[in-house]
Amino acid sequence: MIVLGVGASHSTLMNTHWEQTSAIDEATRFRDGLAEARRRIADAAPDAVVIVGSNHFRGFWLDLIPAFTIGVGECVASGESGTPSGPQPVAVELARHLTERLVEGGFDPAFSARLQIDHGQSHAIQYLLDGLDVPIVPVVVNVFAPPLPTLARCAELGDALRATLAKRPERVVVIGSGGLSHRLPWPDWRDPHGDDEEFMVSAWLDGRTSWSSYDQRRRAIIRAATSAINPGFDQEFLTLLKAGRSEEICALTSERLESVAGNGAQEIRTWLIMAAALGHAPADVISYDPVPDWLTGMAVAVIDPVIDPVIDPAFDPAFDPARSPA
């Protein structure tokens, strides 16, 4: 059974550029929000944690990009930018059961018995599972190599996870890692422009056995990017989450989501899967702040399937993608 859901932004710049962050109060609130979410996870006493995260071209490459992949055996973290490195404990029997039931239900996820993950999952391991002896079920969602799975399909995956886990004896926490609004200097791989974009696509295609050799320049390209956070969009999304109406985000196409909130906002698919797995119960938004030095709107939210938080009706507008400021 699912006992808790957590949505949390991630940024490796927490590890590598904390002292250089000009928005230190905002960064501290985010870090403290992660600590509070970790406390709630510990209190929930899970037997396993399903971590739904994105791929940043360190585990999957343009030679093969599934929409959804479940780790069902070995799981190795890349260890980039001070995130956890090496083998991670996997709840293998649960992962394989989930995969089998999803296939039987007509969902058809990919699976990997030797999965490499990056900070899309390992950031959550580092901060949300710190010191907790609990195995994971890693779920990787394609959010950066179009065509992407639709938001509606992601919600359906969350629904399927909920239905399957409800019948299991394990106490399970579901984490959605990624987002919120941000724009990375990453091209559409199908149509790169200029040297930097050509370099990025080359790294995504050829980096499977040598990703670290591309990392210095790739990191420099990211650090040189201009922040493009949309707090208005972020607040609307968090409003939906608080109101238990997160499925309304499915009204957006991938193209509209990117135009409003940046290509990095495609990662809210991980939050949507988590929220759907929790039955779209109302969330407790612990923290939200734009952190320009990290390029991202940074948020932490928790969904308790038993105790619903108080919802402020004054902070509950109907979601209107057309109204969200670009």
b/e per residue 236-256 (b: at least 16 CB within 10 A): bbbbbbbbbbbbbbbebebee
Q: Identify the pLDDT of residue 320.
A: 55
Q: Please give the pLDDT value at position 20.
A: 86
The parts of the chain modelled with pLDDT lower than 50 are 307-319, 321-322, 324-326
Give the pLDDT confidence score for residue 148 in this predicted structure.
96
pLDDT at 308: 44
Q: Please say whether the beta carbons of 60 and 48 come within 8 A.
A: no
Q: Kindly list the distances between the CA atom of residue 122 and the CA atoms of 27, 129, 141, 244, 314, in Å, as whole numbers in the listed order.
A: 19, 10, 14, 27, 36
For residue 70, report the phi and psi dihedrals to the nearest 5 degrees: -110, 130
Domain boundaries, the chain: 1-17+33-115+130-135+146-179+244-292, 185-224
Q: Where are the alpha helices (DSSP H) in 182-243?
A: 194-206, 211-223, 231-242
In this structure, which amino acid lies at residue 243? A
pTM of the predicted structure, to 2 decimals: 0.91
CATH number of 1-17+33-115+130-135+146-179+244-292: 3.40.830.10
